[in-house]
Amino acid sequence: MSVFDRPYDDPVRVLDEDGAVVGEVPDVDDETLVDIYRQMRLARHFDARAVSLQRQGRMGTYPPLSGQEGAQVGSAAALGDDDWIVPSYREHAAGFVRGRSLKRTLLYWMGHPDGNRVEDGVNAFPVAVPIASQVPHATGASWAASLRGTDEVFCCYFGDGATSEGDFHEGVNFAGVFDTPTVFFCNNNQWAISVPRARQTRSATLAQKAEAYGIDGVQVDGMDPLAVYRVTEAAVEKARDPEADRPRPTLIEAIQYRFGAHTTADDPTVYRDDDEVERWREKDPIPRLEAYLRSEGVLDEERVAEVESAVESRVADAIAAAESTARPEPRELFEHAYAEVPSELERQHEDLAAVRESRGDAAFLEE
C-alpha cells in the first residue's frame, strides 16, 4: 500500500520505540543509515552546546531542536542533490545535512549578518523567523522550477502553529492549483510556543488539511527517522514526476516533540508538565535508530565512539571559528536601510564613534 493511501490518523512507522522493525524499511545502504545516525548525533550535540553558549551570554538567543532530529535529518537525507530546503528557524539539522556550516548557524544566532548568507552550492533558503512566511516563497520557487522544466523539488519546513497562519493556506492552495513540485513538511512538535496543538484547529489531524487543496496528505511518526525518510522519498519522487497520476505537492505531518524550550527565552515548565516530556523522551529518535543499527550489525561500540568523538571535535571547532570571527561594525545595521543616511542617524554614529575612541575598541566591543 502506498504511504498516500493510508488514513490520515494512521502514522507511517518503520521502527518502534525500542528500534524493532514494525514497517517497511526504506531501501538505503548501510553507509547512508550510519550517516543519518551521525547527523542526528551532530545535531543533538550542537544543540546542547548552543544552549550552553546562550546561557553563558556568548549568544543572543537560540531555538533548541532536541527531539526533532529524526524528522529533520530523515527528510533532508531523502532529497536529491539538486533539491532545495526552505526552512523556518529551527531546521539547523536539515541545514547541516544539506551542507550549511555549523559556524554560520552559530553566527546567525550570535547576530552576525554572515550567519544568514547561504554558502555557494548549498540549495537552501535563508532562515525564516516570521511564522509561515516561507510557505508562499517555497511554492513560488517550485512553480518557477516547473515553468523552467527542471526537476528540482522544494521541501518547505514549518511548525504546527504555522497552519494557523494565512500564508500557509495561501501557499498550499496555490501549490495545489498549479501542481507545483513542493513537499510541505509540518514539524508538529505539539506546541506553538505555549499554545497546544489542540488549540490550533478542530481537525483531527493536520495532514488532512491537504484534502481542501486537492493534494495528498500523510502523517508520519516524526521521531522515527526511517519512516520519515520513506515518506519524504515517496513525496519527492511524486513531486519530480509531472506525469504522475496523483497531484505533485504533498503535505507531510511529522508527529514529534521538542524536549526543550521553544527558544532560550521561553520557560516550558509554565505550560507543560514533566510527565509529558518524559513520555515523549521514550520515543527519542537517536537511541531508537542506534538500537536498530546495532541489531543489524551496522553499528558497534567502536563505531559509536568514533561518531561521538568526531561530532564533539566538529562542534568545538565551529564554536571556536564563530567566536573568533570579527564582529560587525554598529553602522552596518543601517547599510541597507536608507538610500541616504538621515542626518540625525549620522550624528548618532559620530557620538558612538567618540565613545568608542574614549573607551578603546576592546572595552567598547565587550559592552
- Pick the catalytic residue from 38, 258, 288, 292: 258
**182-188 and 250-255 beta bridge pairing:** parallel
CA atoms of 39 and 51, how far apart (whole Å): 18
- Specify whether the CB–CB gap between 349 and 356 falls below 8 A: no
- Specify whether the CB–CB gap between 246 and 238 falls below 8 A: yes
What is each CA distance from 73 to 11, 110, 200, 235, in whole angstroms? 18, 24, 26, 16
- Pick the catalytic residue from 108, 262, 288, 292: 262
The residue behind cell 508520519 is 220
As a three-state string, the secondary structure of 297-322 is: CCCCHHHHHHHHHHHHHHHHHHHHHH
- Pick the catalytic residue from 117, 199, 246, 271: 271
CA atoms of 222 and 71, how far apart (whole Å): 5
Tell me if residue 262 is catalytic: yes
Q: In what order do the strands lie in the sheet with 250-255?
A: 84-86, 154-159, 182-188, 250-255, 216-221
Tell me if residue 271 is catalytic: yes
Q: Which residues are known catalytic residues?
A: 258, 262, 271
